[in-house]
Structure formats: structure tokens, C-alpha cells
Structure 1
Amino acid sequence: MRKTLAVAAAAALAACALTAAPAQAATITTAGTGWKLTTQLGVTSASPSQTYTVTYESDAVRRFYAPQIQRAVDQINASTDLTITIGGVEAMDPNKCGPEWHIQVMELRNPMGDGHPGWSQGMPCPNPAQGMSRGGVVAMNSTYRSGEWNIKPEALQNTAVHEMLHAAGLDHPNYDRNTNGTVEPYECVATSYGNRPVMCSPNGGYSTWNNVGRLTGYDINGLNALISNARAQGIE
């Protein structure tokens, strides 16, 4: 059986941690209201000039998941200086990152481990040069498509977007909102309508079909921070 992304991520975290140079520390922002960057994997920025291409391990996976992220991709391209396109099929290995600027989508059964059935996982390629996201890997839970795990359509769409944004460089923005000393699932800032960021753990986003699969303003701010950090450091 292939090693899951959870194991690969743990190895990456154990092997290295981000150490910002003094010049970077004065110019980059890594967290804000409702958003957080994946600094524990060394990602602090994203390219304002490159196109990030979402690819899939098979035609079947592409047919199932590409429509789930279409709304978010259109919104990101219209509302930020990050450019994402939906690509085709390519060979993938869950133990390593693919070509630069690719977000690779594959299926694994319970990629977070059998203790987290129904969960999926996404991560950026760890410790990229200059902190700029070069893409990443997404493991959607194979139990969604098989029907073994009963996931609501709106949750499926938001989850696909959530994991793609992990690969781009966004982390969970959960925090101890109720000040009980523990950061808990779903404990995130919310809009006046009760909508949590798409990146809230274990999931967030809109639940109405008018907006499901779209990013909240919090998530957009996180992507804009990735681009702003790159420009602040003179990185394209």
C-alpha cells in the first residue's frame, strides 16, 4: 500500500522548519482574521506570475472532482492575482511532489489514517525556495466517490476547494475563540450569517447552492497575502 500524505507530511515537518531571514520577517504577514499561511511547511508566498495547474491521477478522478472546484477557480482568477487553471491527467506519486506549479489530485483511502474516516488531506510541497509555493498534493478520500462515505454534496464541494487551497499554501485558521484553552474543530471566525472560512478545520464555507464552493472573504484575504508577501520580497 502506498504511503499516505499524512506520513509524508509528518516526515517533512520533522525534517525541517521555517526560519525566516531578518529581512523577510519585517515584510511578510503570515496570519490574519480568518486566514493563516502554511509556515510550518515553509510556505509564505505564491507566485503572481506563474499559473498553478490542477491535475488528476485519472480521467475518472478528473471528471468527479474538476467540477467541484470550478466555482472557486473562477473566483480566484477574477478576485486575486493568483492564477489557477484546471488541467488534465498525469502520473502521480503520493510520496513526492510533482512538477513545479502543479497541484496534483489523487485518491487515497482515509489519507489521514483510519482514525479519521471520511477525511481528506492537502499539503503544499514543503520548504520551497524563497518560501514560494510551487504547488502541492491533494489526497481526496476514495470513500467519497465509491459511496462508502456519505458526504453531502455541499460538503464535498467545499472539501475539494479546501484541500486545493492547502496545496496553494493556506492553513487552518482555527483559534481559541471561546477562550477555554483549547482550539477545537470548527472554532473559527464567522461572518454575520454564520459562514466560516472554507479553510476552517475540518471544513467550512457556504452551505447554500448560490455560494457553495466559493471562497469567503477571509480565504480571499489569505490568498492575497501570499501574493503580497511575494511582491514584498521582490519575488515573481
Structure 2
Amino acid sequence: MRKSFACAAAAIAACALTTTPTHAATITTAGTGWKLTSQLGVTSASPTQTYTVTYQSDAIRKYYAPQIQRAVDQINASTDLNIAIGGVETMDPDKCGPDWHIQVLELRNPMGDAHPGWSQGMPCPNPAQGVSRGGIVAMNSTYRSGEWDITQEHLQNTSVHEVLHAVGLDHPNYDIDKDGTIEPYECVATSYGNRPIMCSPNGGYSTWNNVGRLTGYDINGLNALISNARAQGLQ
């Protein structure tokens, strides 16, 4: 296997920390329960392009496409972001694919063996004018092989979580208890206790009627990506 997806992402992130988005005064990169991946230069998403989710193999498509269908339907119905589920294409985990593609592939422990069972998604860094061009999602191969015990609810929420990373949403965790450290699960929650699906290490609904759906916080984050593009006259 080539260098790990986690190492490539870390190197890109280190480089991108010095990036200043254009028209910074006209955009918003965080709000209650949502945050954009501005540290990688992504501050908006196209309101006119369709982001197509593609897969490394037919077997991966058959396994993961149903996991995100509910979220795709919800996003297309309730935001001006357009997402479509596509087919199979050749992928390189060390390089972004065509513009407007969210490529889903499998790697064993893409965050490294110190984080077994974790997956990783990220947008293509430093896109022109800050408009997300799509990204890469590395789902952990141990889910499909059965080596990692993951519930259907957790699998579905995780699949959506990683795809939304590739669009341009980041973890909205913050220091709730004010101990100086931003910790796992430190996220705002609804009155029913539901954290944003983008909460790290995992959020979203746990009841089957809503699993895989975005909370209002996540929807607000996607709407911010579109609003930022429009505020700058970007397509």
C-alpha cells in the first residue's frame, strides 16, 4: 500500500494552515453545531454543480451507496447543495479525483493502526476561490470484512459523516466543560440529546427512523457553504 491516507491528510493539513481564504470578510466558517473545513481552504460549495459520489469497486458501491441514500435525499430536498450517487471509477488514495467527485474507497485503518475501526474523509485542499471540488472518503475495510463489530446505525451515520467531510464540513466539537481541552463528544445537542452527525468521533440519530439523517445543525453548515459562495458571487 502507498503512504497511508492519514499521513497524506496530515501533510496537506499542515500546509493548508497558512492559507487565508479569499474574501474572508464576507464569509462565515462556524456556527452553533457546525464548522467548515477552512483550515484546508474550503469555505463554500457550489450551488450549481452536482457533487457525485463514486466508488472504488462495484462491491463497495453496493455496500455503501445505501448507507448514504437517506442523507442524499434529505440534502437535495432541503438545501441548495446537489449530491448524486454515481458509479465506479479508478481511484488513487493519495490524489484527488475529478472535480465535483466524492470518491469512496476502502483502506485498512486509514487513520493508522492506533485508531482501529476509524474511517476518514477530507475535501480536496485549497480549492480555487475556496469552493469545494469534492474529496476522498476512506472507509475502514474492517467494516465490510466483519473484522470490526459495527452496528448498522453506527455504520450509516459514519458513512454520511465521512461524505460530509469531503464536501467541506468539519467536526463542530468545542470545549463545553471549559477544561482547556476539546474532547470527544463535546458538541451541542438537541433537546432530545442528538448531537450533529459531524460530531467527533460520531454523532447523529440513533433511532432507526432517523439514522443516517442530518440534524438541523448539519443542514445549517451545508447552507453556510452555499451562502458563502453566493455572497462572493461564486458558482
| 1:178 Cα deviation after fit | 1.1
Equivalent AA in structure 2 for residue 66 of structure 1: A
| 1:131 Cα deviation after fit | 0.3
Moved over 3 A (4+): none
Equivalent AA in structure 2 for residue 51 of structure 1: T
Match of 2:5 in 1: 5
Q: Deviations over 1:199-220 (max 9, x none)?
A: 0001100000000000000000
The TM-score normalised by the length of structure 1 is 0.98
Q: Unaligned regions of 5+ residues in structure 2, if any?
A: none
| 1:231 Cα deviation after fit | 0.2
| 1:14 Cα deviation after fit | 2.4
Backbone CA RMSD of aligned residues:
0.7
Q: Provide the C-alpha distance between the structure 2 equivalents of 1:96 and 1:225, rounded to a whole number of angstroms.
A: 27
Match of 1:83 in 2: 82
Q: Deviations over 1:33-53 (max 9, x none)?
A: 000000110000000000000
- The answer as to 2:121 corresponding to 1:117 is no
| 1:7 Cα deviation after fit | 1.1
Q: Provide the C-alpha distance between the structure 2 equivalents of 1:170 and 1:155, rounded to a whole number of angstroms.
A: 19
SS of alignment partner, residue 26 of structure 2: coil
Q: Unaligned regions of 5+ residues in structure 1, if any?
A: none
SS of alignment partner, residue 26 of structure 1: helix
Q: Provide the C-alpha distance between the structure 2 equivalents of 1:223 and 1:127, rounded to a whole number of angstroms.
A: 18
1:38-187 residue pairs with structure 2 within 5 A? Answer: 38-187=37-186
The TM-score normalised by the length of structure 2 is 0.98
| 1:3 Cα deviation after fit | 2.0
| 1:66 Cα deviation after fit | 0.1
Q: Provide the C-alpha distance between the structure 2 equivalents of 1:37 and 1:80, rounded to a whole number of angstroms.
A: 16
Q: Provide the C-alpha distance between the structure 1 equivalents of 2:128 and 2:39, rounded to a whole number of angstroms.
A: 14
| 1:20 Cα deviation after fit | 2.9
Q: Deviations over 1:98-152 (max 9, x none)?
A: 0000000000000000000000000000000000000000000000000000001
Q: Provide the C-alpha distance between the structure 1 equivalents of 2:209 and 2:218, rounded to a whole number of angstroms.
A: 18
